[in-house]
Structure 1
Amino acid sequence: MPSSSIRVLTSSDVDQVLNDLSPEIALASQSNVFKNFSSPSPSKEGEHAIIQTPHRITISSEQSTMLFMPSRAPTSDNSKATSIKIVSVPTVSDGGLPATTMVMDETTGRVKAVVNARKLTALRNACGSAIFLRLFPSPTPPTHLVLFGSGAQCLSHTILFLRLYSTIQSVTFVVRSSTPRSQSLINDLSKQFPGISIKAEVHPSCSSEGLDEVVGKGDIIVAATSSTVPLFTAQPKRDARVILIGSYKPTMHEVDQSLVESAGVVVDSIEACMREAGELIDSNLTNEDLVEIGQVLDDSRAEEYKRKVEEKANSIGGNGVVIFKSVGLGIQDVAITNIVLEQAEKMKLGHVVENYD
């Protein structure tokens, strides 16, 4: 494709790529960027850092909050790529978050691709969660998956986890009310995974009758909401793994302070989480109490960091629970978008705009 042209990938194009994409390829690319992000001495090319991920820029309007996330990161073939993702969070949700990633040509400085990122945001988050589960597996294989929410994040997590863990027998979505979207989610997943018990339970608040029992059965608990109050107050079962991916503002809290303080806590970025994640900001934890997922992926110190998390999870007052808190890193978008773009080029997908510049 000429350097002055642009490849545009619609949501349908992205779907075609994802249908054939091996989960292991996606997981490997995410592991690579996490590891590079947490490297104590990020490698450079002259004065140009391979990992560059400035804090997101937020612009608000009456109708939505728009997040701009530029980043540079290594790709699967160890070359470098730069992109910017734009996500809009509507004041009143209409069933999803519009998202687009622009991929740059590092040689010319031109835009070389525009990629619909609605599903890619959810996929890269699910991959980060799956990497966490592999690094901190429960003593017994998971059988019950509990998710708070029914949007794209929960859908992507469910599909990936069911593909990776054949032991999961039951999936429960906790929703505040039954909606056409939640019903469609259950129907679609039930058709895709006919041997699994998949259901939704309505619990308007953390004190709803029966919610404690649902939480208590979860081997893996995923929270993907923008709630400003804890979604549950029950103590998860021993050695549960709790994944928090919804909150991204200091005012948001998906779990209560006591759970955070009694668990081992792994994050995608210590700096970003202590700036944005309300659950961590309001706890008595400090930066020293947190471990980045990329640190655990560092072969030279992996056991040291794992031990730190597990000792905290099993300390006095602990219940073996380990939390993964992610606010999302732009470098994740660089990695997953480039994989999709490479595959789309091979499959000759998308619309090429000739002579754009």
Structure 2
Amino acid sequence: MGTEKQEELLQIKNLAISFYNKSGEVQAVRGISYTLHKGEVLGIVGESGSGKSVSSHGILRLTPDTGKVKSGEILFHGKDILKMSRKELQELRGNKIAMIFQDPMTSLDPLFTVEYQLNESLKKHTSLDAQARKKRMLELLTLVGINQPERRVKQYPYEFSGGMRQRVMIAMALSCDPELLIADEPTTALDVTIQAQIVELLKELKEKLGMAIIFITHDLGVVSDICDNIMVMYAGKVVEEGTSRQVFYERKHPYTEGLLSSVPKLDQKKDEKLKPIKGNPPDMSHVRPGCAFAPRCGCAMHICVKEEAPMCELDDTHKVSCWQVVRHEMEEQKR
């Protein structure tokens, strides 16, 4: 899915976020960097605990009180979000950058109608009068595929199915025409059919509105059809990044291979078992030297448990942090 390189919208530079408890420091995000262009869709994938959601919440400075941004910059149109005032942040959140949170079942307030909750966002971030806001609400619900919007807008969240609630959440996120939409596992609580519908909806909205999207998920199968670029995270770090095609068909990191091998395939035989990644993710409160994936990797070398591999640039878009790749590239250069 080729995208012409547009203007840089978001730049993350060496972002590190830690949480603190009685046991000490938990290093959730350990120095990640990436650039997102206007109109681009970036997929961030990895197991639970890899730092995907924490890094995205950090963009809007929604890190809980127990967390702290230790280092880095988050540049939106060249301006560092980490240095913004409270007023500037309020103008940014929901207006320029919007977010769809993980669970549609709990993201909407059950005590208020959909109309009240949509109206709240429009009232805060726009100068529309009551009549114009009502018209905008109906437009938004129609845009996300909710039939009979005049009737549905008066209803409470419990009267909607999981898929419809997620559509309402997307409508709320789009209410102020954001330049960037962060979708934090928007399909996790939904069945496979509804998942496909939500992904298709986001694709259509991206084409219509021209906004950039950060799509966070643990399932590579979900992002295959929507993302221009994919970033694979493990233990708070980026282990591989590239175009959607490169990550799916030219993947180099054993962890990326493991994620793809654990996804069921349509042509899979009935007696063929899935290949899960052995072992468990590391304890981020006790980060050991070397590659964090080494204890679970079938091709780990001695150096893997001692030193972390540098990010190896295979070409302009494809980068991998793995000693096997470094060794292969060194052997190629000798020939």
Q: Give the TM-score taking structure 2 as reference length.
A: 0.28
Structure with the greater alpha carbon radius of gyration: 2
